[in-house]
Structure 1
Amino acid sequence: MMIVGLAAWAAGGIVAPAAEPAPAAVDAQRGEVALDGEELVVVGRRAPSFGADTVQVGAFRNRSLLDTPATVAVMTRSLLDAQGAQGLDDALRNAAGITQQSTSPITTNSFVSRGIFLNPRTNYRLNGGLQVVNMAPIPIEDKQRVEMLKGVSALYYGLGTPSGIVNVVTKRAGPRPVTSLQITGDAEGGVGGGVDIGRRFGAAQAFGVRINGAIGHLAFPIDGVDGRRVVAAGAFDWQATPRLVLKLDLEYYRRSTDEQGGISLPAPVGAVRGIGGTITLPPVPDPRLRLAPRDAPYITWGRNVLARADYELGGGWSLRAEGGTAQARRQRAQSNLGQIDLATGAGVLVSVYTPDQDYRNGYLRAELAGTVATLGIRHELLFGYTRNRQFQSDQHRQSFRNVAQNLYDPRTIDYAALVPSTMRIGPGGVNIDTGLYVMDIAHLGARWLAIGGLRHVDYATRAAPADFTIRTWTPTAGLVFRPGPRSSLYGTYIEGLESAGTAPDGTANAGDILPPVVSRQYELGGRLEIAGATASLAGFVIDRGLDYTDLRNVQVVDGRALHRGVEASLQGRLGHGLSVLLSGQYLEAVQRRTGVAAQNGKQVENTPRWAGSAFVEYRPAFLPGVAVNAGAYHTGRRWSDPQNRALLPAYTTYGLGASYRWRRGDGPAMTARINADNLTDARYWATGGTTLYAGLGRTVRASLTLDY
């Protein structure tokens, strides 16, 4: 049965928050309080806990997790602090089945969810709205939580791959002042510091300001690879009138590092015109060895601005308007080692420099929401308009003459000594995604909700070598059932139009914008609250257009892919002092009707059948202020090419950590923390696809936080 429109329900989440503010919520670990439930929510009823009572992604704002008919992983501030998380990769490893593709783990992470690429220009959101560009690593110092909404989200978000939405939610000022200072360091010599200040002031505390800043020297367990980063962010609120609330978010971040070299997927031996044959992968190299030229740059800048106004009209109706801009710039010198002699390690290093990658998104949204009653049925109605404009500049790719390099014993190559060869201009372009949507959530008694929604899509791309315009309708429909106060059952059917994104680095048409394709998702699931934790179980089917790298090393859209899987999670508190986040996924993703017979029936590349994560923190009652934690993160075997000739082995990394919080007299509360990741120093391939990167070796980092 095709039931419950995920996006339809999502948009329904706007009705209540826009009409009246949610009650104040407390972050038990930091003692912070939010004026509305949107940006800062209960992280657990008893401090500390990894549990989340509500969802903030997109229109799910302030919707109970039990009433959210979708697979959502919520990484709360308490969890991020316990793990010493420093970026999205640290946060998203807690969501089962997230893999990486194309880029080095130390630069900008390119994520894959449910076997589908997360488009860096459409699938990352700030406070549920603005499309931020994940070409510059998104900071998390100023974030209260990171959410991963898996699957199709077409009604509210329009075009985007059906992998899911990564939503980062900013910290905001609450009634209690916040002044926090942090010093960080690691075993490789990296050092940094940050500040977090929150205040409310004015008549009736109508104004709120939250400022976050960070600066640091980056060091990595890779020979001669280091860098710098700067983050500055502000969240501003104003209760202008009893009915009008205004909000503004500003972010600037810059990161400059050296680039690590990747491994080009070897050519198949015995292939006939690219079909068949075998691919023998080299052993995973020592992750401490630098393959790229010395001082090869990877420099990014990010700027985000998001403004929003909520106005209560009265009579159960409200208006919301928001808009903003997001920009990311990148300079990258990518180097890949290929033609490797497995006996000696000798190979050829191919380097390309792209100095002018510029991506800009413009965002507008307006909504009218309210409730009406007919024949004893209460309807939550939503009418919305949204427009996203994506700009990508022309990109001048400077190639250099190939140089010799060795996988096992790399020599030092100065980037300045590389000799330029050919120049290619990657075409820029503009995408404009305009949507009109309407939705009705009908309350059928106390236990049932019937949901229907429809979006009109008007999508235009202006880019070489081809322009195209698509206009279509994407429906959703569904049902939600609440057997009891602590349980729910749901299902979803959603149609979406997804952009196939841009051809990834390493392909012959890298940077080219690919045409959109239709995707359909079915999902059935349920949740149950157990002893302070929330257990979730869901099964899903996604039928989508397939994009892959063909025999010419060109990224194309061709054929279909069927992704079928099951996900389960347990998140929250189990007993006194014990907090957990467990997740697991089984996924079967198969290619169909492609133009290459050898691909049909084969597993989609970079898609593990089994994946899971487990993180546990324990705070013993007999040692006040002490916490210890442990984590394990598993990625199963996956293929690295569409014809399933290159198999990447499964791997598991382990982490340990501890913290101690104390206060002396009237001084600040101090928290000392230490975390170690990849404790066993395992060697593994961190990415799949046409370019392979080794995962980082063992890392140890520490921090000292002072809360005044």
Structure 2
Amino acid sequence: MHGGGTRQHPLAHRRKRNWIGTLLAASVISTSAQAADTTETPDSNTKSSAKPGAESRVGETSDDAGQLAPVKITGEKSQHFAPASVETGPYKGLDALDVPATVNVVTRDVMDAQGDTGLYDALRNVAGVTRLQLNGLAYDNLAIRGIALDNRSSYYIDGILPIDNNVWMPMEDKERVEVLKGASALYYGFTVPAGVVNMVMKRAGAEPVTSVTALADSNGSYGAAVDLSRRFGSDDQFGIRVNAMDEHVETPIDGDRGYRKFVSAALDWKISSKLKLQYDFEHVESSIVEQAGIVPLTAKNGVITLPAIPDPSKLLVSNAHPTQASANSQLLRADYALSDNWSVDFSIGQSITRRDRWAWVFQKYNLATGAGSLQASQQNGQMYENKNVRLETTGAFRTGPIGHTLTAGVMQNWLFQPDFTTYFYTAAQNLYDPVPVTKLTPSGTPKPFYAQHVRNSGVYLFDQVDLTSRLQFIAGARRSEYMSSQAGTPSQDISKTSPSGSLSYRLTPDTSVYASYVEALESAGSAPATAANANQILPAAVSRQEEVGIRTRVADRALVSLALFNLRQPSADTNADNIYAMDGNARFRGIEFSVQGDVTRDVSLTASTVYLDARQLDSSDPTLVGKTPENTPHVTASLFAEYRVPVLAGLSVNGGMYYVGPRPVNSADQAWIGGATIYTAGLRYATRLYGKRVSLQANLENATNKRYWSAAGSNQLAVGLGRTLELTSTIDF
């Protein structure tokens, strides 16, 4: 950031903006090799060549007042581990210093150094993010600051299209992953106040990319990935970025294997100086056996005794019954400049996830011997569909000496989930000495799921007001409507107006402070499968959050953030009748710290920590009052650093440390799983062979092979995965 407190112009930003055989013939992943190169290379996203803050504030230019910079498609130098701007929700295009909320960004450089292949791989760098219920083999069930994310409405592509998180999420085609924490109703409508996760697709940059990556690991996995990026046309008006991967997967659990594959394309077309089109497509497939969740035993005298942590390499379930899933997401966006100061954006998208699932729990066991029972749930024909349309206009104008950037929009999202039936089976098993499961016995009565229809629509308006060259005020309001219907449950039709407001001040050109108030419109999700009202949509609710924070850039190389937050949320829990319902209020407050960027010329790091004080304030069950909500740690912390060895160009070493504190297994705090620190280590070397850039990389996950509980929640415990050595080799053509 340079200049006396100037800010990036939001409107200016909006205007700049057999598998393997087939895919290798069509396109050939560059990400590992690009990040491994010791020299700075152009970012793969389309951005202005100006540094953040180099443009004038709203209504202020060096030459023509109110004139925006012409559209350019150029490369911006890599920011390494430190984000330059934010691309999520109402803050799209803002310099990170000007965002009056906690937004954590995991950059492409971080994901490359770590060799990230899944969503939690990236988000473990974000304070307060924890696994929920599952160990992440099939997909990543996540919570932020102790609040569970909604798999149907908390995850986004390019900040616009909600996608369903019931399938593996590839990271190889993502430029960055952002987490907007806390309430986000202004832009997204009804969603849980934990926050939203935004995955930004890679796009074609100024430099062409053609590369192939070979994948392998110590469990026996192997695969290949390709990446192709080009700009073409007389004025480089066309851009295409294609990524693909196909991998045979051997997990750290003996006998648990499967596959995962994806192909994606990001296209853009600058039709004229006023009109630009973008299209994103992603197809994902995966097949893997889900390890059984372990059900805590019934409490005795208010205390649950947990079993010893079982061997994480032993499969408890049948390896003949994998969960198979696929997902197709596509998003079309048009950006049109009405004038130098006004633009309109239109987007339409659809995401469909299909899944044939075998879910397993281990229950009713003897603590001493480990003998117990498996319950299998077969759920074929699951489908989750999101359809989304949004129209938005943004304009810059002045009222006397005060500059404004006004945004007005209307959006509508339709969510549909059709009928399916759950069939139950049982089998004998031993937690400590598992045997192969060769026979399943039908058990109980099949449970039908009736189709759900949800419509989340709204109209919103917010004004970004530059009161002075240093002081900015953002005020907004949204009128939302939430409609849901499902056979056998009450229909809902709820309308609500939610306000938000924030104030930010530049203490210096590189340091800002802010305060904000936001209300969340929460769909509250649906009841878990273990409840008597399984999958029922809960009534909508309102959460409220206050936050104050400070951010600073250090030597233009690192971003440091500190925030204090307080959120009050209506809470849901399973009551004495096994009904999952809204029955109280919880409070989540704490302090969060993060630093990202270059500490020295040769050392980059990303570190974060949060202290969280979460309490149940009131409940229909008085035994829950004052307790910590399930799966909520008081402390989480992460540290990842990379050292580029100066005496040997192209060589870098890295290490990570990820801590999650003790967590209660249920909201009655009847037992806690212990805290755990997981370590990683890595080595990368980039060089040239026969004129081609080549990189070799090794990453060691769970380096100490620690045995630990990785997740709690929804009356299940998950065991963390064992040590794995991951290897990649990339050639750039």
Q: Verify same fold: TM over 0.5.
A: yes
1:499-522, Cα deviation, whole Å (9 max, x unpaired)? 111223433333222221100010
Secondary structure in 1 matching 2:90: helix
Alpha-carbon distance, 1:264 to partner: 0.8
Conserved in 1, the CA contact under 8 Å of 2:44 and 2:202? Answer: no
1:575-654 aligned at under 5 Å gives the runs: 575-654=600-679
The residue number in structure 2 matching 1:7 is none
Give the partner amino acid of 1:158.
G
Question: In 2, Cα distance between the equivalents of 1:159 and 1:519?
Answer: 11
Tell me, in whole angstroms, the C-alpha distance in 2 between the residues paired with 1:584 and 1:75: 15
Asked if residue 507 in structure 1 is aligned to residue 502 in structure 2, the reply is: no
The equivalent residue for 2:541 is 517
Measured in 2, the distance between the counterparts of 1:404 and 1:700 equals: 33
Which residue does 1:300 correspond to in 2?
Answer: 325
Corresponding residue for 2:47? Answer: 36
Give the SS at the match of 2:203. coil
For 1:688, give the aligned amino acid: A
User: 1:184-226 deviations in whole A, cap 9, x for unaligned?
Assistant: 1000000010100011112211111111110010111111101
Shift of 1:550: 2.5
1:217 maps to amino acid = H
CA drift of 1:46 comes to 7.2
Matches within 5 A, 1:338-417: 338-400=363-425, 402-414=426-438, 417=440
Q: Give 3-state SS (helix, strand or coil) of 1:497's partner.
A: strand
Residue 330 in structure 1 maps to residue 355 in structure 2? yes
The answer on 1:141 being equivalent to 2:179 is no
2:272 aligns with 241
CA contact (8 A) 1:13 1:59 kept: no
TM-score, structure 1 as length reference = 0.94
Q: Structure 2 residue aligned with 1:282, among 288, 303, 307?
A: 307
Q: Which residue of 2 aligns with 1:21?
A: 16
Deviates more, 1:507-516 or 1:224-233: 507-516
Instruction: State the one-letter code of the partner of 1:208.
Output: G
Displacement of 1:70 after TM fit? 1.3
**SS in structure 1 at match of 2:120:** helix
Q: Which whole-Å CA distance do the structure 1 matches of 2:356 and 2:449 have between them?
A: 14
From the superposition, tell whether residues 111 and 37 of structure 1 become closer, same or farther in structure 2 (CA, over 3 Å): farther
Q: Which runs of 5+ in 1 are unaligned?
A: 1-11, 271-276
Mapping for residues 196-211 of structure 1, pairs under 5 Å? 196-211=227-242
SS at match of 2:338: strand
Counterpart mapping for 1:156-175 below 5 A: 156-175=187-206
Kindly tell me: are residues 45 and 245 of structure 1, through their superposed partners in 2, closer, same or farther at Cα, counting changes over 3 Å?
closer
Asked if 2 retains the 8 angstrom alpha-carbon contact of 1:302 and 1:328, the reply is yes
Q: Pairwise CA RMSD of aligned residues? A: 1.9
Contact 1:612 1:635 (C-alpha < 8 Å) held by counterparts: yes
Q: State the Cα deviation string for residues 243-295 of structure 1 (Å, max 9, x = none).
A: 0000000110100111211101211113xxxxxx2100111111111111232
Which stretch of structure 1 is more off in the superposition, 445-454 or 502-511?
Answer: 502-511
Match of 1:428 in 2: 451
Residue of structure 2 equivalent to 1:59: 90
Corresponding residue SS for 1:78: helix
| Cα shift readout 1:472-508 (whole Å, capped 9, x = no counterpart) | 1000122110011110000110012111112234333
Change (3 A) 1:323 1:163: same
Corresponding residue SS for 1:598:
helix
Aligned-partner Cα distance in 2 for 1:287–1:491? 45
1:305 partner SS? strand
Name the aligned partner's letter for residue 566 of structure 2. V
Counterpart residue type for residue 17 of structure 1: H
1:94 corresponds in structure 2 to 125
Provide the identity percentage: 37
Match of 1:314, SS state, is: coil
CA distance in 1, matches of 2:9, 2:379: 42
Q: Secondary structure at the match of 2:728?
A: strand
Q: Does 1:117 align with 2:148?
A: yes
Separation (CA, whole Å) in 2 of partners of 1:48 and 1:309: 28
Q: Match of 2:519, as an amino acid?
A: E
Aligned residues: 682
TM-score (norm 2): 0.90
> 1:29: how far off?
5.5
Does structure 1 conserve the Cα–Cα contact (< 8 Å) formed by 2:515 and 2:546? yes
> Separation in 2 of the partners of 1:551 and 1:244?
58
SS of residue matched to 1:91: helix
Distance 1:482 1:682 in 2: 45
Over 3 Å counting, the alpha-carbon distance change for 1:178 and 1:45 in structure 2 is closer
Distance 1:698 1:233 in 2: 30
Q: Aligned partners of 1:544, 1:47: CA distance in 2, in Å?
A: 39
User: CA contact under 8 A between 2:709 and 2:718: conserved in structure 1?
Assistant: yes
Provide the residue aligned with 1:471 in structure 2.
Answer: 495
Deviation at 1:442, TM superposition (A): 1.3
Change (3 A) 1:575 1:452: same
Distance 1:36 1:479 in 2: 27
SS of the residue 2:121 aligns to: helix
> Is the CA contact 1:34–1:41 (under 8 Å) kept in the aligned structure 2?
no
Structure 1 residues 420-478: Cα deviation after superposition (integer angstroms, max 9, x where no partner): 54211022211101100111111111000122111001110111311011111000122
1:223-249 deviation digits (Å, cap 9, x = unpaired)? 110101110100000001110000000
- For the residue of structure 1 that corresponds to 2:719, the secondary structure is coil
Q: Residues of 1 paired with 2:578 and 2:678: CA distance?
A: 32
- Single out whichever of 287-296 and 693-702 deviates more from structure 2: 287-296
**Is the contact made by 1:249 and 1:306 (CA closer than 8 Å) also made in structure 2?**
yes
Quote the offset at 1:45 in angstroms.
Answer: 8.6
**AA aligned opposite 1:581:** T
Counterpart residue identity of residue 176, structure 1: E
**Does residue 498 of the first structure (1) align with residue 526 of the second (2)?**
no
TM-superposed deviation, 1:656: 0.5
